[in-house]
């Protein structure tokens, strides 16, 4: 049985830089910079993250500001705050009552570009969005 690599940035810790996590990570401190997570990113209730992020799945219970590219699921809990741009690849966005999303959400940017290109070529097929 494989054990997943889970990293932790504890409350009170401040990091500024470029971070790469091969597994999942839980952030309870303050982080700014570029973050890449191959697993699940959890932004804890007391965390403050101001970053450009690329991740598979994310759970936001604290504060996030920046741009986030997600290929899986996005969950903003009742205490979560998302301010910025969200780019989703086949992603599912869930916002609990009390959660905040303020910004722009782009669903599957590559698919959107291919739809626009086919419409310009005179393709008459219907596209459901």
pLDDT tens-place string over residues 53-80:
999 999 999 999 999 999 999 999 999 9
Residues with Cβ within 8 Å of 26's Cβ and at least 6 positions away in sequence, in order, are 6, 7, 8, 9, 42, 44
In whole angstroms, what is the distance from residue 27 CA to residue 126 CA? 43
SS3 115: helix
In whole angstroms, what is the distance from residue 60 CA to residue 62 CA? 6
In whole angstroms, what is the distance from residue 111 CA to residue 2 CA? 34
In whole angstroms, what is the distance from residue 38 CA to residue 44 CA? 18
**Helix (H) / strand (E) containing 110:** helix 109-120
Burial of 60 (0-12, 13-18, 19+ CB in 10 A): buried
SS3 118: helix
pLDDT tens-place string over residues 4-16:
689 999 999 999 9
Give residue 90's pLDDT band: very low, low, confident or very high (50, 70, 90).
confident
In whole angstroms, what is the distance from residue 51 CA to residue 34 CA? 6
pTM for the full predicted model: 0.81
């Amino acid at each position: 049985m494989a054990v997943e690599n889970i990293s932790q940035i504890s409350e009170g810790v401040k990091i500024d830089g470029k971070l790469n996590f091969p597994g999942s990570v839980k952030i309870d401190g303050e982080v700014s910079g570029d973050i890449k997570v191959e697993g699940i990113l959890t932004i804890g209730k007391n965390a403050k993250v101001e970053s450009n992020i690329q991740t598979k799945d994310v759970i936001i219970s604290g504060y996030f500001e920046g741009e986030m590219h997600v290929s899986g699921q996005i969950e903003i809990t009742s205490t979560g705050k998302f301010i910025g741009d969200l780019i989703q690849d086949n992603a599912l966005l869930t916002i609990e009552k009390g959660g905040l999303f303020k910004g722009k959400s782009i669903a599957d940017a590559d698919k959107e570009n291919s739809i626009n290109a086919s419409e310009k070529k005179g393709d008459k097929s219907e596209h459901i969005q």
